[in-house]
């Protein structure tokens, strides 16, 4: 069984994230969307809310589950039985950062491969940090978040 983990902060989940998960479906039998919990950084939205929105966003997909984890992503993958990590690439800056992370992860656990999907052009500017900024100042974020959720 091909299991992949899609790790991130999902603070909050966006249409960009949703698109990556839906486009990954044909590649894997099971996708675990996993919120990495960072002890030093609590996030803008509470963890429980971020989990709830992810569950609602992928409610129609039985092969997608939502979890959270502490510690290294590769350790969570081992625990989950996942051999793949999914990441999305928007810009060349994303690429430079993601390359280092993926190469370090390969050093730590050579059996776990990171698979990158390029963002659809319409979602290049959809970042959680911009969505948070619009939300913080009272703007409408509906067009950036999955249709199935309301924040």
* Residues forming the active site: 17, 41, 90, 128
HSE value, Cβ hemisphere, 13 Å, CA-based, for 51: 12
Task: Give SS3 for 110.
Answer: coil
The enclosing H or E element of 107 equals: helix 92-108
Q: Write the CA distances from 101 to 76, 96, 105, 113, 147, integer angstroms.
A: 15, 9, 6, 12, 31
Nearest residue (CB) to ligand ADP, 84 versus 123: 123
Rule CB under 6 A: which residues touch ligand ADP?
8-10, 14, 16-17, 20, 87-88, 90, 94, 119, 123, 126-128
- Shortest distance in whole angstroms from residue 102 CB to ligand ADP: 10
Which CB sits closer to ligand ADP, 83 or 98? 98
Q: Output 109 or 120, the one with its CB closest to ligand ADP.
A: 120
Q: How far is the CB of 70 from ligand ADP (least distance, A)?
A: 14
Residue least distant from ligand ADP (Cβ): 16
Q: How far is the CB of 120 from ligand ADP (least distance, A)?
A: 7
User: Any bridge partners for residue 117, and if so which?
Assistant: 88
Query: Helices (H), strands (E): how many in the chain?
Result: 5, 5
């Amino acid at each position: 069984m091909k299991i992949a983990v899609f790790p991130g902060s999902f603070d909050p989940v966006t249409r960009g994230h949703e698109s990556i998960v839906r486009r990954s479906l044909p590649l894997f039998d099971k996708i675990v969307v996993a919120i990495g919990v960072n002890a030093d950084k609590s996030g803008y939205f509470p963890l429980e809310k971020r989990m709830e929105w992810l569950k609602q966003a992928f409610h129609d997909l039985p092969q997608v589950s939502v979890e959270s984890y502490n510690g290294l992503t590769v350790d969570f993958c081992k625990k989950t039985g996942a051999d793949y990590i999914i990441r999305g690439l928007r810009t060349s800056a994303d690429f430079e950062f993601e390359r280092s992370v993926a190469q370090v992860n390969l050093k730590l656990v050579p059996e776990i491969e990171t698979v990158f999907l390029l963002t659809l052009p319409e979602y290049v500017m959809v970042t959680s940090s911009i969505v948070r900024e619009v939300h913080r100042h009272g703007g409408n974020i509906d067009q950036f978040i999955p249709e199935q959720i309301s924040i």
